[in-house]
Amino acid sequence: MADPALLRAEDVEFSYGDQFSLHVPEFIIPERSVIGFVGPNGSGKSTFLRVLAFLVKPHKGSIFFSDDAVSFDNDEITRHVTFLPQDPYLLKRSVFENVAYGLRVRHDHKNLGERVRGVLRQVGLSPDLFAERQWHELSGGEAQRVALASRLILRPKLLILDEPTANVDRESALLIKDAIVLLRREYDTALVIASHDILWLSGVAERIDKMVQGRIAGYVSENVLPGPWSRKSGELWSRMLPDGQVVRATAPPSENASALLSPRDIILSLKDPEGLSARNALRGHVTAIAMEETRESLTVTATVSNLSLHCRLTVQAVRELGILPGSSVFVIFKATSLRWNERDSS
């Protein structure tokens, strides 16, 4: 928790004409952290990521890197941050030269060949098969992996990824995810990952921020409920928890699919509501209550059997409930609030 900030953005503003503006009062990336980033297209997410990567200069505000204020033309600091866009561009050179480029411009030629081959292996590309290929001889997934390899080889202190798995095949997506996790584990790289793949983000990120209309809408951590699911009757499916309680859901895409549950869709109650069968009411107890960055709401974490579920409540609601860590509560949500991850359909 007490990790010092690797990067701190203060009062960043960026506007596009009159219609839209980005405004982030404060944004902190702790050292070695992984931060997920979600938000609809056009929310300003990609612009903000480019600001964090020192590629776009904000119209207002300042950014501190390891407590040093960064001017956008300061080579040495900005070279610690690198960015992988959603649709990366490969230089019109061989795979080897694409990957080696970042080291060449840093005049770092030591063991260049071995290092290039190493990162190619990390992204699942055989150096013997791919190193000498030209940029136009790659599939979309291969190109994305080459682009990632050309960033991994730099061992940045901060790697920012914009939808790294959006336009690639399933196999490439898995390899990219593995490589990102490995980077963090081996080189203490901090990561900011924007993705629609909330399931994966929930697995790797310590924090997920959401951007809506140019504002960071605060801390959101999607709950994940893994399978297996079994059919109960008609459209109703269920999942038995180890303590015998049952979670009801709509038809999943496959038996082992994971369901997502937004913290906003959960309410807590001290009494069993005894109601519709399509509504889940699970017995559990509160394990944590945390203040959100926006200071308008609280995140209450409740444990139900072996699940840990986050729910988002107003300060007012928590006060009225009178709950504290340790309190017994019913966790209530509709079966239709469980969302299925499209990726699990195959």
Give residues in contact with other proteins (CB under 8 A). 50, 53, 55, 75, 79, 81-83, 85, 87-89, 91-93, 101-102, 105-106, 150-151, 154
Quick one: tokens of 274? 């005894």
Q: How far is the CB of 77 from other proteins (least distance, A)?
A: 12
Q: How far is the CB of 298 from other proteins (least distance, A)?
A: 38
Closer to other proteins at the Cβ: 41 or 306? Answer: 41
Burial of 221 (0-12, 13-18, 19+ CB in 10 A): buried
Beta-bridge partner residues of 309: 302
Which of 138, 297, 310 is closest to 218 using CA atoms?
297
Amino acid at 211: M
Closer to other proteins at the Cβ: 98 or 258? Answer: 98
Q: How far is the CB of 256 from other proteins (least distance, A)?
A: 38
Q: How far is the CB of 239 from other proteins (least distance, A)?
A: 43
Q: How far is the CB of 84 from other proteins (least distance, A)?
A: 8
Residue 33: Cβ within 10 Å count: 19
Helix ranges, the chain (H) = 45-52, 75-78, 95-104, 112-122, 127-130, 140-152, 170-187, 198-204, 315-321
Closer to other proteins at the Cβ: 162 or 209? Answer: 162
Helix ranges, 54-197 (H) = 75-78, 95-104, 112-122, 127-130, 140-152, 170-187
Closer to other proteins at the Cβ: 91 or 240? Answer: 91
Closer to other proteins at the Cβ: 106 or 121? Answer: 106
